[in-house]
């Protein structure tokens, strides 16, 4: 079975943790211990977030002159290499030496006219108090928005249109490689008026890019890993219920928050609707049961309606 696993940000750095290499490696080690369990007999593609990492690199760049700071597309490429290296090494330490790995820098096309450029929503970097965030926004020209009880910088998050490296990803899978790609949603690129490809100051949603990746790879299963065991209705209330199975139409009607479960639900729905296959939202601790079809929120067009656990 060909499986695309989209690692949530918590798999790399937990909320409030210092952004040290040691913390990131420890979290990646925990994630790869789960992923290693489903390697036998399956083709694996791993995508991942990069919000804290690209935000940190952006902050570091502010120590230089404005014209010396690297743009977000270049920083995104840097994080793909850094995180891919850690995933390769930690997963490689768990699997047989003969298993090949490849981390691919992945360019993803976006539309210059995407409305996201007029309304930035994608969180990057660390959390701040309201006072700190407002000060930084004034100093650096950022847009900041609430993220829970804290504030973070936000940038445009245009929808992914095309993954340019899809052919080499397929070639690597045919050679039994584990492929790490589309990190951070991929490197946002677009064509200019001369049909020349260029990077753009944005961050593509990792889950939406992973869904497009899984679709274009004709994957059998998309696993959207998060820090809860399923998508819930009435989350945090006495009436909360875990969703076991849902048709995309029914799931989308529930109106999940854009800043949390919303993109995951949208990504799972996109994949299920466009392919007729199954997407699952759950935590990595359930990875074996997810593959068996007995855990998480399973999204498919196989039958109408919605059921709860």
d(C-alpha 182, C-alpha 212), whole Å:
10
Closest CA to 32 of 88, 81, 82: 88
Q: Where are the beta strands (DSSP E) in 19-114?
A: 43-48, 101-103, 107-109
264 flagged as catalytic: yes
Q: Supply φ then ψ for residue 217, to 5 degrees.
A: -90, -5
Q: Which are the contacts of 149, defined by CB distance < 8 A and separation ≥ 6? A: none
- Residue of 8, 264, 286, 296 marked active site: 264
- Residue of 50, 206, 286, 296 marked active site: 206
- What the block records as the tokens of 39 is 């390697």
Q: Give the strand pairing for 197-199 and 187-191.
A: antiparallel
d(C-alpha 19, C-alpha 226), whole Å:
19
Closest CA to 271 of 197, 220, 203, 196: 220
- Residue of 10, 50, 270, 286 marked active site: 10
d(C-alpha 6, C-alpha 181), whole Å:
10
Rg (CA), the chain: 19
- Residue of 9, 49, 51, 184 marked active site: 9
237 flagged as catalytic: no
Q: Which are the contacts of 306, defined by CB distance < 8 A and separation ≥ 6? A: 243, 245, 246, 247, 250, 251
9 flagged as catalytic: yes
By the 10 Å C-beta count (0-12 exposed, 13-18 middle, 19+ buried), 274 is classed as middle
- Residue of 27, 51, 76, 122 marked active site: 122
122 flagged as catalytic: yes
Where in the sequence numbering do the catalytic residues fall? 9-10, 122, 206, 264
């Amino acid at each position: 079975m060909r499986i695309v696993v989209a690692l949530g940000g918590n798999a790399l750095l937990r909320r409030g943790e210092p952004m040290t290499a040691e913390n990131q490696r420890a979290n990646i080690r925990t994630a790869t211990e789960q992923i290693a369990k489903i390697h036998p007999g399956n083709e694996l593609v791993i995508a991942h977030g990069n919000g804290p990492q690209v935000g940190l690199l952006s902050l570091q760049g502010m120590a230089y002159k404005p014209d010396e700071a690297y743009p977000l597309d270049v920083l995104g490429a840097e994080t793909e290499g850094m995180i891919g290296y850690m995933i390769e090494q930690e997963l490689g330490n768990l699997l047989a030496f003969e298993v090949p790995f490849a981390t691919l820098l992945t360019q993803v096309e976006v539309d210059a006219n995407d409305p996201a450029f007029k309304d930035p929503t994608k969180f990057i970097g660390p959390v701040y108090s309201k006072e700190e965030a407002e000060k930084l926004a004034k100093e650096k020209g950022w847009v900041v928005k609430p993220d829970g009880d804290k504030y973070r910088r936000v940038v445009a998050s245009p929808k992914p249109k095309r993954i340019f490296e899809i052919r080499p990803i397929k070639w690597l899978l045919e050679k039994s490689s584990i492929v790490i790609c589309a990190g951070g949603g991929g490197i946002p690129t677009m064509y200019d008026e001369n049909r020349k490809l260029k990077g753009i100051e944005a961050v593509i949603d990792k889950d939406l890019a992973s869904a497009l990746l899984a679709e274009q790879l004709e994957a059998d299963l998309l696993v959207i890993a998060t820090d809860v065991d399923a998508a819930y209705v009435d989350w945090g209330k006495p009436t909360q219920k875990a969703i076991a199975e849902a048709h995309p139409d029914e799931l989308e009607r529930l109106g999940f928050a854009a800043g949390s479960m919303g993109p995951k639900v949208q990504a799972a729905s996109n994949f299920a609707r466009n392919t007729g296959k199954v997407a699952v939202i759950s935590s990595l601790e359930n990875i074996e049961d997810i593959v068996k079809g007995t855990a998480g929120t399973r999204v498919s067009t196989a039958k109408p309606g919605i059921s709860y656990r």
